[in-house]
Amino acid sequence: MKDTEGYVTADGRQIGGTLMEMRNITLRFGGVVAIQDISFDIREGEVRAIIGPNGAGKSSMLNVISGFYTPSEGEVWYQGAKRPPMKPFEVARQGVARTFQNIALFEGMTVLDNVMTGRLTHMNAGIASQALWWGKARDEEMANREKVERVIDFLEIQNIRKTPVGRLPYGLKKRVELARALVAEPHLLILDEPMAGMNQEEKGYMARFILDARAERGISVLLIEHHMDVITGICDRMLALNYGEMIASGIPKEVVKDPRVVEAYIGGAHG
């Protein structure tokens, strides 16, 4: 049964019930344990963060959620139901969109065409009508194009909409990748290091866009990020991993002060 009881954040915002729940997730690759018995949930309308040093299991967890990996043990629950093993495109059709740590855009295509690819899960016209661009295919593309243009306006990239992505600086490529994820109209948006390689101004823009997307579109956000100054300012709850195990969970200001988190980042084998 879906948990409909939410909570109130420190700044007074109401967070909804459980959207996704990871129950006792373990992931093994042969004799290597990437994730060990981790449980947590993601609530409707919250920004949830996963932090940890390199090799902590963060990206492995995102890959379990988005269908690239099937957990060795444990269950994924989504919108109140246990989720069977799924391919990434099936997870996407359920309303889960993501960006990647390494930018995965089509460099030779324009910004507009790259963002349009995010609408593929919403396109249903047959091959014949698409080839001839008539009837349902034409109406469908026009409707999708309108949604794409709205997201382009939202992310303030109108002036580069016809520019090939390969000509753009890194920070704008990150914004285009976010646009492609948003046009899929997800319930859950997964961001893998969305601010990596950005300067302070670019990080500020990205943080604002993430918060605005949550507020205006009602989506939940799960993200991995190493910029602690930004992440503690935009996240409602935080999960800390180290060597595939959960070492802390809670509100950001408490997690970052946890001795185990401090040790993971600046001491021990990761120092």
Instruction: List, in order of start, the domains of the chain with CATH numbers.
Output: 1-95+187-205+220-271 (3.40.50.300), 107-185 (no CATH)
Helix (H, G, I), strand (E, B) or coil at 169: coil
Better-predicted residue by pLDDT, 211 or 134 = 211
Mean pLDDT of the 103-126 span? 83
Amino acid residing at 128: A
Q: How confident is the model at residue 269 (pLDDT cuts 50, 70, 90)?
A: very low
Q: Is residue 223 predicted with pLDDT exceeding 80? A: yes
Whole-structure pTM value: 0.86
Range of weakest confidence among 12-21, 118-127, 229-238, 240-249: 118-127
State the Cα–Cα distance between residues 36 and 61, nearest whole angstrom: 10
pLDDT value at residue 114: 94
Q: How confident is the model at residue 136 (pLDDT cuts 50, 70, 90)?
A: low
State the Cα–Cα distance between residues 44 and 188, nearest whole angstrom: 8
Q: Is residue 1 predicted with pLDDT exceeding 50? A: no
Percent of the chain with pLDDT over 90: 66
Q: Is residue 92 predicted with pLDDT exceeding 90? A: yes
pLDDT value at residue 178: 95
Better-predicted residue by pLDDT, 253 or 268 = 253
Q: How far is CA 144 from CA 104, 122, 149, 190, in A?
A: 21, 8, 9, 22
Mean pLDDT of the 118-128 span? 65
